[in-house]
Amino acid sequence: MDYIILIISSLLINNILLAQFLGNCPFLGTSKRMDTAIGMGIAVIFVLTIACIVTFWVQHKVLDPLGIDYLQTVSFILVIAALVQLVEMFLRKFAKPLYTALGIFLPLITTNCAVMGAALLIIRKEYTFTQGVVFAIASASGFTLALILMAGIRERLEISDVPLALRGTAIGLITAGLMALAFFGFQGMDAALTALVRS
Amino acid sequence: MKQVIQMAVVLTLICTICGAALSGIRSITAERIVYQRLINVQGPNVEDVLKGSENDLIAERESVEIDGEEILLFVGKKNDRPWAVAYETSAAGFGGELTIMVGYDLEKDKLTGLKIGTNSETAGVGSRVTQDPFTKQFKGLDIDLKFTGGPCPVGVDAISGATVSSMAVSEALKKSVALYPKIKEAVL
Amino acid sequence: MGLMREFTKGLWKDLAPFRVVLGLCPILAVTKEAETGLGMGIGVIFVLTCSNVIISSIRNIIPRQVRIAGFIVIIASFVTMVELFSQAYFYPIYQKLGIFIPLIVVNCIILGRAEAFASRNGVIASALDGLGIGLGYTMSLVLLGSIREILGAGTIFGVDMMWASFRPFTFMAEAPGAFVSLGLLLGIMNAVSRKS
């Protein structure tokens, strides 16, 4: 039952994008059109989950036993960068259609702070392996959810009369703010849900 | 081929230099980091449960080994004589480990206070065990705790709807009280 | 005079994140208070200047194919230094910034400057570039932090600013306020720069 709370919490209540501010650059960059948003979203779910599994292993099997946890930042970013390269090579070779669909988004993911952020949060919150994987998938899905919702809104904004100064990123941020406000409504659910599961 | 070797050499060199620099800085700052963490994380709780002490509680911390486990002790002194001691114990809470800091009066063998340290209890529900209305009930309890079936010892009302978190506090407290005789011996 | 321009361009012409939309995550996440914004800004200035200097001084030694990997290692090392120093000397700020200190490493501004400027220019120019861009970014962080702190808590750097009956807008202190106020500020900057 705890996993249900964890999933809902990381998907909606503590949405990685709208409540924790991770991954905003690709959020605003790739949310102008629906098809790019979907492509980016799927690529993020894929890479973020693998990255969290690998960094979890690195932290608990390499950094902690050797007592070099201060190299966390360096090793995590290298692992993520290498992983993105590997995924790209693997897809190009064995899954050509997937590569043509996601290929252009992969290099962008290295500097997507949602990936590194989720990996760090799993370590800081001292999740177990299963909790970590569930958290990673739910967070990445939350990212994708917000991205796709945003793309839907922005496609409509294209045809509406936005003040000249606010066009582009500015109106994107304000829209994101209003979405964050909507997601803010989930805040109280945490407690209610816990009480429900307990009873 | 020459290019590959150059690439490997340069990258290895960069990594070695960076690694060496970092481990150097790490060893310089390590001691201060431990101290800062004590002051900022455990410090406020120690100050609270050992209120009335006249010494610098953090600076005069000491660690003792009891049953093969290292325990960090904070000894409160009045007129240069130890009057109370505080240390941390932990138990499994709802969302992860829950740590408590308990202070003991060495003369009266009573609790001087209890504070919750690191925990991942659910915000709004289990997290209420960290708040004053709950924790201040432990002040003045005798170390001879009595349990009559409820999640908390006699004299303490559990938080309704947060049974797991209340029980985690009690579990940690039982461990803490069990250690007390040996710790008292070590301090005096 | 050319060198001076490398410094000043970061303060207006290439002001991040308003003129060059990069580094949005920290500017949204750590600007609940002016103080945390300032702490973050100082961290970024340090990492940006140091990594720019090192990268520009090894720009002729490092082979092209592995340059990004090398840049990442160097940047990550400086970020770790910030992490260690802030833990040792500014622990309360370290606690407030949380995972956003290690996340400086994925701040696009830093890798962007390394790739676009430091790997093509001399050491002094790169140092000034890093200092200028970092300072500009810090100004933006403190500006947004001040606005949100004044409206969201009625204080600035922890000092009371507003009249006694002022009721803080909780909205500004929370996530939605961060997005909306940054969006509006960006709009104002656009309007101002279009006029001039």
pLDDT score for C144 = 94
**Encoding tokens for residue C131?**
């200092």
Could you give the angle at the alpha carbon of C106 between the alpha carbons of C3 and C59, nearest 5°?
Answer: 45
Q: How many beta carbons lie within 10 A of that of residue B13, not counting itself?
A: 14
Whether the Cβ atoms of residue A146 and residue A21 lie closer than 8 Å to each other: no
Does residue B12 belong to the interface with chain C, where contact is any CB pair within 8 Å?
Answer: no
Q: Buried b / exposed e across A152-182, counting CB within 10 Å, b at 16+?
A: eebeeeeeeeeeebbeebbbbbbbbbebbbe
Q: Which residues pair with A198 in a beta bridge?
A: none
Which has more pLDDT, A24 or C129?
C129
Domain boundaries, chain C: 2-148
Is A126's CB within 8 Å of B97's CB? yes
Whether B11 is covered by a domain: the verdict is no
pLDDT value of residue A191: 63
Residue type, B60: E
The number of folded domains in chain B is 1
Question: Chain B contacts of A194, Cβ < 8 Å?
Answer: 122, 125-126
Which residue of B3, B12, B14 to mutate against C (max C Cβ within 10 Å)? B14
C165-194: pLDDT as tens digits: 888 888 888 889 999 999 999 999 889 888
A126–B96: do the CB atoms touch at under 8 Å? yes
In this structure, the dihedral spanned by the alpha carbons of residues A46, C114, A79 and A35, taken in order and rounded to 10 degrees, is 0
One-character DSSP codes across chain C: -HHHHHHHGGGTTT-TTTTS---HHHHHHS-SSHHHHHHHHHHHHHHHHHHHHHHHHTTTTS-GGGHHHHHHHHHHHHHHHHHHHHHHH-HHHHHHHGGGTGGGGG-HHHHHHIIIIITTS-HHHHHHHHHHHHHHHHHHHHHHHHHHHHHHHSEETTEE-S-TT----HHHHSHHHHHHHHHHHHHHHHHHHHH-
**Does C68 contact chain B (CB < 8 Å)?**
no
Is the per-residue pLDDT at A110 higher than 90?
no
- Contacting subunits of A (3+ beta carbon pairs below 8 A): B, C
Query: Cβ distance C41 to C160 under 8 Å?
Result: no
More confident residue, A45 or B53: A45
- Put simply, the answer to whether B122 touches A71 (Cβ < 8 Å) is no
Across C152-156, average pLDDT: 86
Contacts of B126 in chain A (CB under 8 A): 194
In this prediction, residue C53 has a pLDDT band, given cuts at 50, 70 and 90, of very high
Summarised one tens digit per residue, pLDDT across range C86-116 is 999 998 899 889 889 999 998 888 988 998 8
Q: Does B31 reside within a domain?
A: no
Q: Is residue B149 domain-resident?
A: yes
Q: Do C111 and B60 meet the contact criterion of CB atoms below 8 Å apart?
A: no
Distance CA A73, CA B34 (A): 19
pLDDT at A108: 76
pTM confidence score:
0.84
CB-CB neighbors (< 8 A) of A142 in chain C:
none
ipTM for the predicted complex: 0.88
The B62-66 sheet, strands edge to edge: B62-66, B69-78, B81-92, B97-105, B110-116
- Decide if B18 is inside a domain: no
The pLDDT value recorded for residue A53 is 95
Q: Which positions in chain B touch C88 (Cβ < 8 Å)?
A: 29, 32-33, 36
The whole-number pLDDT of residue C23 equals: 82
B140 token code pair? 């003045």
Per-residue pLDDT tens for B124-178?
667 777 888 888 888 888 887 777 777 788 778 887 777 778 888 888 888 888 8
Q: Which domain holds residue B88?
A: 47-187
DSSP state of B142: B
- A1-42 pLDDT, tens digit each: 678 888 888 888 888 988 888 988 888 878 888 888 888 888
R_g (Cα) of chain C, nearest Å: 18
B121 belongs to a structural domain? yes
pLDDT averaged over chain C? 89
Verify whether the Cβ–Cβ distance C190 to A165 is below 8 Å.
Answer: yes
Closest-CA residue of chain C to A29: C21
Task: Work out the angle at residue C94's Cα, subtended by the Cα atoms of residues C88 and C100, and round it to the nearest 5 degrees.
Answer: 135
Bridge pairing between strands B69-78 and B97-105: unpaired
**B30: in domain:** no
For chain C, how many residues are written?
A: 196
Distances A75 to A106, B58, B101, C179 between C-alpha atoms, Å:
19, 34, 35, 31
Which of the 8 DSSP states describes residue B38?
I
**Among the partner residues C63, C81, C88, nearest to B10 by beta-carbon distance:** C63
3-state secondary structure (DSSP) of residue A40: helix
User: What is the rounded distance in angstroms from the CA atom of residue C81 to the CA atom of residue A132?
Assistant: 27
Amino acid type, A167: R
What is residue A116's three-state secondary structure?
Answer: helix
**Rg (Cα) of chain A, in Å, rounded?**
18
Q: Which residues of A touch C108 (CB under 8 A)?
A: 25, 111
Average pLDDT, chain A: 86
Stated as kind and residue range, the H or E segment containing B76 is strand B69-78
